[in-house]
């Protein structure tokens, strides 16, 4: 399902914290290596169960100018389907998916998260959280929304186990958008999956538009 239904009240503010607060191990790789000597878990694109879901919700673009790569940007839409796949992959790797569920809050609305990775040779423009450099929005149906917040991911070690767009040269961000009430009232369209989502990032170096489905 592309968009969460009205009764699904969730906040993405704790997603990254939940991933990094798993115990008793500090990360999936270290947990697996203790139980399987000499082995490492398959990467996200090598997991035959996980990879099709990751591909479904991942969009990527390279923006070129004068034969040079100005911006490489990848976004993963964190739908119910994507979150469930992450939890199931975690369960297969360490025997339990506990600790990864996204916590509910009392915001009274529905929130949609997107995990965005950017690489650019022009270092200042890797700062997607700088509103003087980037204009960020999500178009859902007829509504264009600004993010509730943009949070840089400082420690990406564990997230690389789940998202292939995160690498040592990327700058990575969790962004959260609120659904407006006008969309929530259109239950039939949401259930029919007729609404689309489009992430838009615009700066002096590039304009990026990534669309689902």
* R_g (Cα) of the chain, nearest Å: 18
- Mapped onto helix, strand or coil, the DSSP state of residue 207 is strand
Q: What does the angle CA 172 – CA 83 – CA 5 come to, to the nearest 5 degrees?
A: 115
Residue 189 belongs to what H/E stretch? helix 187-191
More confident residue, 174 or 111: 174
Question: What would the mean pLDDT of 168-189 be, rounded to a whole number?
Answer: 75
| Inter-residue long-range contacts of 83-91, CB under 8 Å, 24+ positions, other chains counted | 85/49, 85/50, 85/53, 85/54, 86/162, 88/49, 88/50, 89/44, 89/47, 89/49, 89/50, 89/162, 90/28, 90/162
Query: pLDDT band at 98, cuts 50/70/90?
Result: low
Average pLDDT in the chain? 76
User: What is the reported pLDDT for 141?
Assistant: 79
Question: What would the mean pLDDT of 174-180 be, rounded to a whole number?
Answer: 84
* pTM of the predicted protein model: 0.78
Counting Cβ atoms within 10 Å, is residue 29 exposed (0-12), middle (13-18) or buried (19+)?
Answer: middle
Query: pLDDT band at 95, cuts 50/70/90?
Result: confident
User: What is the reported pLDDT for 28?
Assistant: 40
More confident residue, 169 or 33: 169
User: What is the reported pLDDT for 138?
Assistant: 94
Q: What is the pLDDT of residues 38-81, one digit of tens each?
A: 567 789 999 999 999 999 999 999 999 888 889 999 999 988 88
The phi, psi pair for 211, rounded to 5°, reads -125, 140
User: What is the reported pLDDT for 14?
Assistant: 44
Examine the pLDDT at 4 and tell me if it is beyond 60: no
Identify whether the C-beta of residue 29 lies closer than 8 Å to the C-beta of residue 39: no
Smallest CA-to-CA distance from 166 within 21, 16, 65 is with 16
Q: Find out whether the peptide bond into 213 is cis, omega within 30 degrees of 0.
A: yes
Can you state the percent helix, strand and coil of the chain, rounding each to 5?
A: 25, 30, 45
């Amino acid at each position: 399902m592309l968009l969460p239904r009205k009764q699904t009240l969730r906040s993405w503010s704790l997603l990254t914290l939940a991933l990094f607060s798993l115990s008793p191990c500090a990360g999936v790789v270290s947990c697996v290596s203790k139980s399987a000597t000499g082995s490492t878990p398959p990467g996200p694109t090598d997991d035959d169960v996980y990879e099709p879901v990751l591909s479904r919700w991942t969009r990527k673009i390279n923006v070129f100018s004068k034969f040079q790569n100005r911006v490489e940007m990848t976004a993963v839409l964190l739908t119910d389907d994507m979150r469930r796949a992450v939890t199931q992959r975690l369960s297969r790797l360490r025997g339990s998916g506990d600790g990864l569920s996204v916590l509910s809050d009392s915001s009274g609305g529905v929130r949609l998260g997107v995990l965005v990775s950017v690489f650019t040779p022009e270092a200042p423009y890797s700062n997607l959280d700088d509103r003087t450099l980037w204009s960020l929005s999500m178009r859902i149906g007829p509504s264009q929304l600004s993010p509730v917040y943009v949070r840089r991911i400082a420690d990406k070690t564990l997230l690389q186990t789940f998202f292939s767009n995160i690498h040592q040269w990327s700058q990575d961000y969790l962004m959260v958008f609120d659904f407006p009430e006008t969309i929530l009232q259109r239950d039939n369209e949401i259930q029919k999956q007729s609404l689309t989502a489009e992430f838009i990032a615009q700066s002096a170096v590039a304009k990026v538009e990534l669309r689902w489905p």
